[in-house]
Homo-oligomer: A and B are copies of this chain.
Amino acid sequence: MNAIGKYEFLAEPFRCDFNGRLMYSTLGNYMLNAADYQSSERGFGWNELKRENKAWVLSRFVMEMSEMPGPYDRFDIATWVESVMRYFTYRNWSVIGKDGKVYGYGTSVWAMIDLTTRQPADIFSVNDGRIRNFVSPDDKVPIDSPSRVKMDGKNATLIREIDVTYSDLDVNGHVNSIRYIEHVLDLFPTQWHQLNHITRIEVAYVAESHYGDRLRFYEERQDDNSKCFMITRLNDDTEQEVVRCRIVYPLHTSQM
Q: A33-B12, A46-B13 are in contact. Are A18 and B171 (CB under 8 A)?
A: yes
**Interface pair B46/A33, CB less than 8 Å apart:** no
List A residues 1-60 near B (Cβ within 8 Å): 12-18, 20, 23, 25, 29, 32-33, 36, 46-47
Residues of B within 8 A of A23 (CB): 167
Distance (whole angstroms) from the CB of A6 to the closest CB of chain B: 17
**Interface pair B72/A47, CB less than 8 Å apart:** yes
A170 CB–B CB distance under 8 Å: yes
Distance (whole angstroms) from the CB of A200 to the closest CB of chain B: 17
List A residues 112-137 near B (Cβ within 8 Å): none
Q: A14-B36, A176-B14, A211-B190 are in contact. Are A167 and B46 (CB under 8 A)?
A: no
Of B12, B165, B171, B211, the residue contacting A14 (CB under 8 A) is B171
A237 CB–B CB distance under 8 Å: no
Residues of B within 8 A of A14 (CB): 29, 32-33, 36, 170-171, 176, 178
**Interface pair B36/A12, CB less than 8 Å apart:** yes
A182 CB–B CB distance under 8 Å: yes
List A residues 178-192 near B (Cβ within 8 Å): 178, 182, 185-186, 188, 190
**Interface pair B171/A20, CB less than 8 Å apart:** yes
Between A15, A25, A167, A173, the greatest number of chain B beta carbons within 10 A of the residue's beta carbon is seen for A167
A169 CB–B CB distance under 8 Å: yes
Residues of B within 8 A of A169 (CB): 17-18, 190
A101 CB–B CB distance under 8 Å: no
Q: A12-B36, A36-B12 are in contact. Are A17 and B186 (CB under 8 A)?
A: no
Query: Can you list 24 residue pairs at the A/B interface with Cβ under 8 Å?
Result: A12-B29, A13-B46, A13-B171, A14-B32, A14-B33, A14-B171, A14-B178, A17-B169, A18-B171, A18-B172, A18-B173, A20-B171, A46-B71, A47-B71, A71-B171, A165-B186, A165-B190, A166-B185, A166-B188, A166-B190, A166-B193, A167-B182, A167-B186, A190-B212
